[in-house]
């Protein structure tokens, strides 16, 4: 069931495109008063997960690099912290670490080394993006920040404690598989890659496969299936005509909200955008 936050240091350990920190006040309004298991099929940096801190959860992401970071924080946090301390905020060093996934040696890196690399690149790359090219190689340039916080020991240890003191299953699967065990009384939050508001705004570089309209429809149909089983779901997406039409036609409740977006390669494109929160329940009723 929902509960009061126990540790405010339990918070996202990465910057993430589409991260939900700005939208948390709106999301909190619609979280069910009670639920059994919490599911999050596109966990990303975990802003909603760490805000709710459910005692029983199933979290998932298609991004294997990201899922490895979660597992390392859960199982080897002290080793990770020590490795993070060895990194340098220097351009030449940054590119040497970034280019590791272009070399055969990459497959031999330990999970801790891979997780440390991702956190370091995320904290020092341009605008905190996670983006890969068609070969699955990290391709964001150096950010030139004066003093980035590469290692936040308190946050990493708080996340480690949360993941270990609660029943949290970590998956690396397709979103539909991730929620296949959800049943009546459970609560699912979906935060998929958003339907692009224009032909040039699509951000799908977080995985090789992207996320297209066919995937959006597959997700909508999954929501219909969950609804038929008595599972409560809340979904965030962009307020495009396509998304609104596809969820309205199934009778779901749609709330328009305004959120600030800070991750965009073009500074003038950052700012307030309309989003929707879609749900199938009254949050004031058990």
126: CATH: 1.10.1020.10
Long-range contacts made by residues 81-86, C-beta under 8 angstroms, separation at least 24? Answer: 81/151, 81/153, 81/156, 81/157, 83/112, 83/113, 83/116, 84/116, 84/119, 84/120, 84/150, 84/151, 85/151
Q: Taking 50 as the threshold, does the pLDDT of residue 268 lie above it?
A: no
Share of the chain above pLDDT 90, in %: 77
Lay out the sheet containing 271-279: strands in order across: 167-171, 56-60, 38-40, 187-190, 232-238, 271-279, 253-261
User: pLDDT value at position 19?
Assistant: 67
**pLDDT category of residue 4 using cuts at 50, 70 and 90:** very low
C-alpha span between 1 and 186 (Å, rounded) = 9
Opening angle at CA 182, ends 164 and 41, nearest 5? 65
**Final residue of a domain: which of 121, 153, 185?**
153
> Given this model, what pLDDT does residue 102 score?
95
User: Which two structure tokens, joined as six digits, stand for 140?
Assistant: 């964001």
**How many domains, in total, are found in the chain?**
2
Same domain, 161 and 255: yes
SS3 253: strand
Between residues 201 and 133, the one the model is more confident about = 133
In a domain, 1, yes or no: no
Residues 6+ apart with CB under 8 A from 174: 62
Q: What is the band of 22 on the pLDDT scale with cuts at 50, 70, 90?
A: confident
* Helix locations, 109-186, DSSP H: 111-124, 153-165, 175-178
Rg (CA), the chain: 19
| Position 57 pLDDT exceeds 90 | yes
> Do both 38 and 119 map to the same domain?
no
What angle separates helix 241-248 from helix 213-228, to the nearest 10 degrees? 30
Tell me, yes or no, whether 212 and 275 share the same domain: yes
Using the structure block, give the residue that is written with the tokens 């996340």. Answer: 159
Specify the CATH number for the domain of residue 63: 3.40.50.150
Which range of residues forms the domain containing residue 110? 78-153
Mean residue pLDDT of the chain comes to 90
Give me 286's structure tokens: 């058990």
């Amino acid at each position: 069931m929902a509960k009061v936050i126990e540790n405010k240091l339990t918070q996202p350990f990465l910057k993430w495109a589409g991260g939900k920190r700005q939208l948390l006040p709106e999301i909190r309004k619609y979280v069910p008063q009670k639920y059994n298991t919490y599911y999050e099929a596109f966990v990303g940096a975990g802003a909603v997960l760490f805000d709710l801190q459910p005692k029983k959860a199933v979290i998932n992401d298609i991004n294997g690099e990201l899922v490895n970071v979660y597992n390392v924080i859960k199982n080897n946090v002290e080793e990770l912290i020590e490795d993070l301390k060895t990194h340098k905020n220097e351009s030449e060093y940054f590119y040497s670490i970034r280019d590791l996934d272009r070399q055969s040696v990459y497959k031999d890196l330990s999970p801790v080394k891979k997780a440390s690399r991702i956190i370091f690149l995320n904290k020092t790359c341009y605008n905190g993006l996670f983006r890969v090219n068609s070969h699955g190689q990290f391709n964001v340039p150096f950010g030139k920040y004066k003093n980035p916080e590469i290692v936040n020991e308190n946050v990493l240890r708080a996340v480690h404690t949360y993941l270990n003191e609660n029943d949290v299953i970590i998956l690396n699967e397709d979103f539909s598989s991730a929620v296949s065990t959800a049943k009546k009384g459970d609560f699912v939050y979906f935060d998929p890659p958003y339907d692009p508001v224009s032909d040039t705004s699509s951000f799908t570089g977080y995985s090789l496969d992207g996320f297209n309209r066919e995937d959006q429809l597959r997700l909508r149909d999954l929501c219909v299936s969950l609804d038929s089983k008595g599972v409560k779901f809340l979904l965030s997406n962009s307020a495009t005509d396509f998304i609104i039409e596809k969820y309205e036609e199934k009778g779901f409740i749609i709330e328009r909200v305004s959120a600030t977006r800070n991750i965009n390669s073009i500074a003038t494109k950052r700012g307030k955008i309309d989003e929707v929160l879609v749900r199938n329940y009254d949050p004031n009723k058990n």
